[in-house]
Structure 1
Amino acid sequence: MSAPKQVIFIITDTQRKDMVGCYGHPDMKTPHLDKLAAEGVRFENAYCCTPVCGPARSSLFTGMFGHSNGSWSNCMPLGDNVKTVGQRLTDQGVHAAYVGKWHLDGSDYFGLARCPDGWDPAYWYDMRCYLEELSAEDRLRSRQVETNQADDLTREFTYAHRCSNRAIDFLTRHNGEDFFLVVSYDEPHHPYLCPKPYSDMYRDYEFPKKQNVWDTLEGKPAHQRVWAGPDLAQNKDALRITLPDFLGCNSFVDDEIGRVIEAIDKSAPDALVIYTSDHGDMLFSHSLNNKGPAMYQENTNIPFIVRWPNHAPANQVGTGLISHIDVVPTVLHALGVEPAPVLQGQNLLPMFESPAQAINDTVFMEFHRYEVDHDGFGGFQPIRACFDGRYKLSINLLVTDELYDLQEDPEEMVNLIESAAHTEIRNRLHDKILDWMNQTRDPFRGYYWERRPWRTDARPATWEYTSFTRQREEDELYEPRQLDYDTGLEMTAAVRKKKPPHLQDNPPT
């Protein structure tokens, strides 16, 4: 009898790479994640798809970018015809369970307390489920940072602990099955709820300032200066970055992850374990705070650790490019399910087994809006970006574009978008972005992304743009093959040239 195929996916919220000790930051107390990395592979160049919670998660759990799956802003739901990895696995006989923050049902921050199709309802536990267990008074306490200093705050009160409990129960009861288990923590996101001693661990600690804290944003996009606001003129020499609750919660969630890993070691010791975070946080780099419409490393370059006994080597570092868009096809392959054509990422299993191997030569990122519920947070800020391991190009549709050489300028201080010496590199990356937008059927694509002020060889603006039609190709388990508008028959090719109206045999009059 063959051993069961098992994958556990652990995700935190707003955890920068430099908040994990094994990434070269020993002041950060994350012993369980450090141990996981020592037993597996720590990847240095992993990137989220969108640096804000909901859209980042939408890509992680559908294998499609936010512009394709419908959830391109917080509080926007997935499209009706978009299938999650849970649905795809359940329909192939693999047990799928999701414990923790979801943020993809189009509701508020906390969710609807309703299990979506494809996930085991016995283990569904979004943040509304948690709040419904609390009294009105305790709900308020759970949303206040000041609660961390209460002597009666216990780990049992926290969302993280209750998520861990459910994950441990699943591992104990279902260890003989093929399964995919997601453990999705809200921590260390605000309000940073954590009991003592974690809430006191960093009371006297000053987070190190990177050189880009002094960035004046000259030659940078205008929206970044608006975002920075008064912080741009702040005396950065006098600035002290103190984050006792945030960093305390960071160490607390590591401890909760440790509880889950201990249960994995007992119940599913050979399982593939993948850990990451949904995005980072600016923390005063480039005079910015929070996450949002900027593709700087602090925002997009996230921790990514894999442990896979008998497959992935131990205590290795991988430097190849990884995107969160690759998680779904990778999980499907690990569980023996063929990915559907509609998925937009790559299978990373060969990279897990041989960390020196490269799967991606470029990763792509995007931004639209922080949250549909809010008028603020900069409103609509459409961005498409790519990174090839050295150069990063961001097309900020409404403002100035950006190009950075991370080999020479790792803190992204000098915008090279107008540099004549970098014309060939810039244009090559720009072409990659345009091709990616077309290939992924980006609904926002069009000639305006190509006709940037610095792109002197851009094609003239035309209503037809490329003149291609690009139809959706889904697994026929979920929908029949689409029909060709011109014939009414099944399309022979999903991507094909389409004649503009004035060139058709019988143009409209």
Structure 2
Amino acid sequence: MRKQIILVMVDTQRTDMVGCYGNPVIKTPNIDKLASLGLRYTNAQTTSPVCAPARGALFTGLMPHSNGIVTNSCSIYDNIKTVGQRLNDNGIHCGYVGKWHVDGGDYFGNGTCPDGWDENYWYEMKNYLKELSDDDRKRSRKSKTSFDKDWTREMTYAHRCSNRSIDFINKFKDEDFFLTVSYDEPHGPCICPAPYNTMYNGVSMPDSTNYADDLSTKPLSQQLWSNKNINKSAEDLQKPNDHLALFLGCNSFVDDEIGRVLETVYKQCPDAIIIYTADHGDMLFNHKLNSKNCCAYKEVLNIPFIIKGGAVGIVDSPATHLDVTPTILDYMGVEIPPIIEGKSMMTQIKDGVTKINNEVYSEFTRYELIQDGNGGFQPMRCVFDGRYKLVINLLHTDEFYDLECDSDEVYNAINDPAYKEIREALHEKLIQEMDRTRDLYRGYQWAMRPWRDNKAPSFRNAGYVRQREESEMYEERQFSYDTGLPMEEAIRIKIIGADKKSLNNK
């Protein structure tokens, strides 16, 4: 049997924008069908609420702070390999069609195929724009173009991505391959043809008590982000509007395009593993916030995640994009080097019950390198165990939510003594994970929180040296500073100053 994996990804989709996740108003029959054939994850979490950091983690198996993309408009570090490079270097054909957004360029990318992917199928947004006239480029960036009768399905980026993907599948159906189909839709400007452009007129998002969240116990950054919305009523924030109608219409339109690709996969590659997800969600005025930025609410972190490849059912335990790359490597029989921070999900994909993660992690540093605004530097780290969520906002008020008792994440229980034990246990796990993944910004500041009265600052922090352990296919084993020889252990206690004197006296 051939080993084939197809990853289908959209930009900006919450779980309540997919029918099979429980919103009967939303029409996504093709994604729903895929869910009926595989595993649907209810507590999957992106590694970041913004595009490029989320995508960088998915395609490297490394957290944003480890792969270099801590904000939009940054690129992956030169010494970090993508899943495409690792597979291609092991003789597995890789195709990438659609939005990339991890090359450090502008929103549309630099148009050049990176190492590891088939250049004949590379088709990011800059390539699409270059197919259009100057006038049509401008039209492609305006939502109102959805109502121009001459802007047919064939003019959309989604349709052209589907065409290329279908061609790749038909051509290489008898080979091992990994194909990514990455749509920009339903991200703004949300262009979609009839009937999708009017399908959701008059539609609102589901009811939630958090439309009335006054943010008084939340970080200052969220209050500033809310701006004038903080004084609006829940009714005003939830009411139908033209942008939401097009956004949801585009969401159903891209589902239709996804259906074209999936039907080809079902026919040509019936045994292929299919992974479906989104990079992040959108606040859509929940908590009086819009779009995405520095927050860890479910509307922006909890993303659709569906895998067809073995078991069928629902997985409620935490899942993360960080595990996508090691899962693909594992299935393809390619080494998962120690540098990879995620885990393979293959056992769970096969049996549907194995628990891969007790907790998953997300982060934020800033929105975009090229923009002065959007809150600027807002370092945030989050840990979520499927029920409890701890959010450390380094410069502001921290947050703690019990989603079993408060599914809308309105009550900030960061100072509630009833949660002291579980809150501090999650805090310890978060700090340990920052150390394990060599978080660029780790330090005592994350431990010294106002609600944590049993922590003392330490200049040494955990006190370890943590060197890279990459596959020797790419990198010679690093040398130890102390010996000049290849390191025996990559993670070891750092002996300095008084410690050396103490050891010498023994």
Query: Is the 2:202–2:240 contact (alpha carbons within 8 Å) kept by the matching residues of 1?
Result: no
SS in 2 for 1:199: coil
Partner of 2:47: 49
Counterpart AA for 2:278: S
Q: Secondary structure at the match of 2:44?
A: strand
Which of 366, 389, 403 is the aligned partner of 2:386? 389
What one-letter code is carried by the residue in structure 2 that aligns with 1:21?
G
Asked if structure 2 preserves the Cα contact closer than 8 Å seen for 1:41 and 1:317, the reply is: yes
| Matched residue SS, 1:432 | helix
In the alignment, residue 358 of structure 1 is paired with which amino acid? K
Aligned-residue offset at 1:487: 0.8
State how far apart, in whole Å, the 2-side matches of 1:462 and 1:247 are. Answer: 50
Shift of 1:463: 2.3
* Corresponding residue number in structure 2 for 1:468: 464
Q: What residue is the counterpart of 1:345 in the other structure?
A: 342
Aligned to 2:296: 295
Q: Which residue of 1 aligns with 2:24?
A: 26
Residue among 353, 373, 376 paired with 1:376 = 373
Residue 417 of structure 1 aligns with an amino acid whose one-letter code is I
CA–CA separation in structure 2 for the residues paired with 1:261 and 1:95: 19
- 1:197 maps to 195
- Which moved further from structure 2: 493-502 or 77-86? 493-502
Per-residue CA distance 1:196-220 (angstroms, 9 max, x = gap): 1111111232333321111011211
Matched with 2:429 is 432
Of 458, 479, 483 in structure 1, the residue corresponding to residue 479 of structure 2 is: 483
Deviation at 1:501, TM superposition (A): 4.0
Shift, 1:131, TM fit: 0.5
Q: Give the Cα separation in 1 of the matches to 2:463 and 2:354.
A: 37
1:437 is paired with a residue whose SS is helix
- Distance in 2, matches of 1:356 and 1:154, equals 44
**Letter paired with 2:287:** H
Judged with a 3 Å threshold, the aligned counterparts in structure 2 of structure 1 residues 26 and 463 are, in CA distance, closer, same or farther, namely same
The answer on whether the counterparts of 1:228 and 1:288 sit within 8 Å (CA) in structure 2 is: yes
Q: Secondary structure at the match of 1:165?
A: helix
Equivalent in the alignment of 1:450: 447
Indicate conservation of the 8 Å contact 1:86/1:96, yes or no.
yes
1:286 corresponding residue in structure 2: 287
Q: CA deviation at 1:456?
A: 0.8
**Distance in 2 separating the partners of 1:394 and 1:364:** 10
Identity %: 52
Shift of 1:306: 1.2
Check whether the contact 2:12–2:281 (CA below 8 A) recurs between aligned residues: yes
Q: CA RMSD in A?
A: 1.2
Question: Is the aligned partner of 1:415 residue 2:397?
Answer: no
Gaps of 5+ in 2: none
Q: Which residue of 2 aligns with 1:114?
A: 112
SS of the residue corresponding to residue 197 of structure 2 reads helix
Deviations 1:227-262 (A, max 9, x none): 111101012234414311100100000000000001
Mark the CA change 1:328 to 1:16 in structure 2 (over 3 Å): closer, same or farther: same
Q: Which amino acid aligns with 1:58?
A: G
Q: Which residue of 2 aligns with 1:248?
A: 249
Task: State the partner residue of 2:494.
Answer: 498
Aligned runs of 1:26-425 on 2, under 5 Å? 26-239=24-237, 240-242=239-241, 243-308=244-309, 311-313=310-312, 316-425=313-422
- The question of whether the paired residues in 2 share the 8 Å contact of 1:320 and 1:356 is answered with no
**Structure 1 counterpart SS, 2:185:** coil
**Distance of 2:222 and 2:133 partners within structure 1:** 41
Deviation at 1:72, TM superposition (A): 0.9
Gaps of 5+ in 1: none
What is the Cα deviation at residue 299 of structure 1? 0.7
Q: Contact between 1:63 and 1:326, CA under 8 Å: does it hold in 2?
A: yes
Tell me how far apart the structure 1 counterparts of residues 8 and 381 of structure 2 sit (CA, whole Å): 27
Check whether the contact 2:282–2:300 (CA below 8 A) recurs between aligned residues: yes
Whole-angstrom CA distance in 2 between matches of 1:278 and 1:429: 25
| In structure 1, C-alpha distance between the alignment counterparts of 2:217 and 2:240, rounded to whole Å | 26
SS of aligned partner of 1:76: coil
- Secondary structure in 1 matching 2:477: coil
Q: Which amino acid aligns with 2:468?
A: R
Could you give the per-residue CA deviations for residues 344-374 of structure 1, whole angstroms, max 9, x where no partner exists?
1111111112223211100011000110011
Amino acid aligned to 1:447? Y
Q: For residue 340 of structure 1, report the CA deviation from its aligned partner.
A: 1.2
Which moves more between the two structures, 235-244 or 335-344?
235-244
Give 3-state SS (helix, strand or coil) of 2:441's partner: coil
Alignment partners' CA distance in 2, 1:357 and 1:463: 40
- Equivalent pair of 1:212/1:411 in contact (CA under 8 Å): yes
Distance 2:417 2:203 in 1: 44
Asked if structure 1 preserves the Cα contact closer than 8 Å seen for 2:53 and 2:70, the reply is yes
CA distance in 1, matches of 2:235, 2:192: 31
Letter in 2 for 1:198: Y
Conserved in 2, the CA contact under 8 Å of 1:319 and 1:356? no
Distance between the aligned counterparts of 2:109 and 2:229, measured in 1? 33
CA contact (8 A) 1:194 1:249 kept: yes
Alignment partner of 1:337: what SS? coil
Superimposed CA distance per residue, residues 439-496 of structure 1 (whole angstroms, 9 cap, x where no aligned partner): 001110011111111111112x232222211101100100100110111011111111
Shift of 1:38: 1.2
The alpha carbon displacement at 1:16 in A equals: 0.6
Q: Which amino acid aligns with 2:414?
A: I
How high is the TM-score relative to the length of structure 2? 0.97
CA contact (8 A) 2:201 2:240 kept: no
Hey, what's the Cα distance between the residues in 2 that align with 1:96 and 1:62? Answer: 14
Matched, 1:17 2:18: no
Pairwise CA distance, 1:277: 0.4
Normalising by structure 1, what TM-score? 0.96
- The alignment of Structure 1 onto Structure 2 pairs a total of residues equal to 499
